Amino acid sequence: MPRPRQITIIWQLLMESSVKGKHIVLGITGGIAAYKSVTLLRLLVKNGAEVQVVITPSGKEFITPVTLSALSGKPVVSEFFTANTGEWHSHVDLGLWADLMVIAPATASTIGKMANGIADNMLVTTYLSAKEHVMIAPAMDLDMMAHPSTSRNLALLRQDGVEIIEPAAGELASHLIGKGRMEEPENIFRRIEEYFAGERKMAGKKVAITAGPTYEKLDPVRFIGNYSTGKMGLALAEEFADAGADVTLICGPVSLKTDNPKIRRIDVESAEEMLKASEEPFAKADIGIFAAAVADYRPESRADSKIKREGVEDMSLKLVKNPDIAATLAAKKRDGQQFIGFALETDHAHENAAAKLKKKNLDAVVLNSLQDKGAGFGTDTNKITILCADGSEKTYPLKSKREVARDIIDFIGRVNAAR
């Protein structure tokens, strides 16, 4: 029987907020909603987070640094130097110190500067040095929110992995009614708690992911390939790493970079190379994801020197089948391993995806249909349905690829919890 003091300790641990002990940079910009940031700051500090406030010069027109430093227990940073002492504030150190950066409220101007790298104040400079996750809670008038320039900048930020906490609809500072009101501080706090709770979700898990296209060489200068850019696979790798997993990414030729130190990346070119490089990481993985758009066929032979056209009127190519990486590796699946494939379909989408799930011995298939606008190769968004081997399925709305990656991770987490 646990004694009363032990019960108290267990209860305290259960009740402890996931923000406890976390280092958070809270960015505040010049909008009416800045007054709500005080509540957010209080919630963070009360629940044990260490918060460094960075405020833009116009933010100070709305809320005084004195209030913010009293609540956070730290001097508020706004300029590159402290005027009277000349002390330099290092945005690089702040970026490294932070476990999370939250900008609330984020005005249209700050969003534009962040999207375009205009580092003319301490806040945007800190953002550019931030290594960890960044969330922004936009707040502006409805016309500004609806302007194509704001949508464009938000889309760029999403693409860069920034999480947007969508503004709510309601009465705005202008007394107009519409979308643009900053999300309530309690809800932003809840999202921050969820983020840190999720960070531990995949801790200790080994994850292997194939991504991008494969190139099948015809001669030294030509290949057969496809339009895959690897965005979905890389977004998954980033999100799994953020959730604490140990990720190996086996990637076909893509121009995207991965600078997350928690991702081990193996670059390959052809389907045969991808299979070879995937054998070991998938054998060791708890979770395996096949997000690559593998070329199903390759030229039967490859010329060692450039194929010349002189004297050749027409040409036909003999293609031979490539290995099916997902089917080959899933045939060796051990108990407890979870393997998930993708299915990009143009027609009979559901039927085809269900058939792939079965045929390839997968635990789930993420279906994206080219019939859906915004889904498929090269886009920053995706619209998916997850089909599970037990017959259950879930359809999601159109989202950014990073958000889709989070949905897939949540889905896997829920399946595991139910086991």
The site for ligand CTP (CB under 6 A) is made up of 210, 271, 290, 292, 294, 296, 322, 324-326, 341-344, 356
Burial of 58 (0-12, 13-18, 19+ CB in 10 A): middle
| Integer Cα distance of 296 and 314 in angstroms | 24
Query: Is the Cβ–Cβ distance between 233 and 248 less than 8 Å?
Result: no
Query: Is the Cβ–Cβ distance between 99 and 18 less than 8 Å?
Result: no
Q: Judged by CB, which is closer to ligand CTP: 115, or 326?
A: 326
**What's the min distance (Å) between Cβ of 346 and ligand CTP?**
9
| Integer Cα distance of 188 and 24 in angstroms | 13
**What's the min distance (Å) between Cβ of 385 and ligand CTP?**
14
**What's the min distance (Å) between Cβ of 120 and ligand CTP?**
44
**What's the min distance (Å) between Cβ of 245 and ligand CTP?**
19
| Integer Cα distance of 366 and 386 in angstroms | 5
Q: What does each C-alpha distance from 174 to 144, 166, 184, 416 come to in angstroms?
A: 12, 19, 18, 48
Q: Judged by CB, which is closer to ligand CTP: 156, or 319?
A: 319
Report the SS3 class of residue 305.
Answer: coil
Query: In degrees rounded to 5, what are phi and psi of residue 345?
Result: -125, 155
Report the SS3 class of residue 281.
Answer: helix
**What's the min distance (Å) between Cβ of 260 and ligand CTP?**
22
**What's the min distance (Å) between Cβ of 298 and ligand CTP?**
10
Report the SS3 class of residue 269.
Answer: coil
Q: Judged by CB, which is closer to ligand CTP: 191, or 276?
A: 276
Q: Judged by CB, which is closer to ligand CTP: 237, or 271?
A: 271
- Provide CB contacts within 8 A for 396, sequence distance 6+: 383, 384, 385, 386, 404, 407
Catalytic residue annotation: 226
Q: Judged by CB, which is closer to ligand CTP: 243, or 366?
A: 366
| Integer Cα distance of 374 and 382 in angstroms | 6
- Provide CB contacts within 8 A for 42, sequence distance 6+: 71
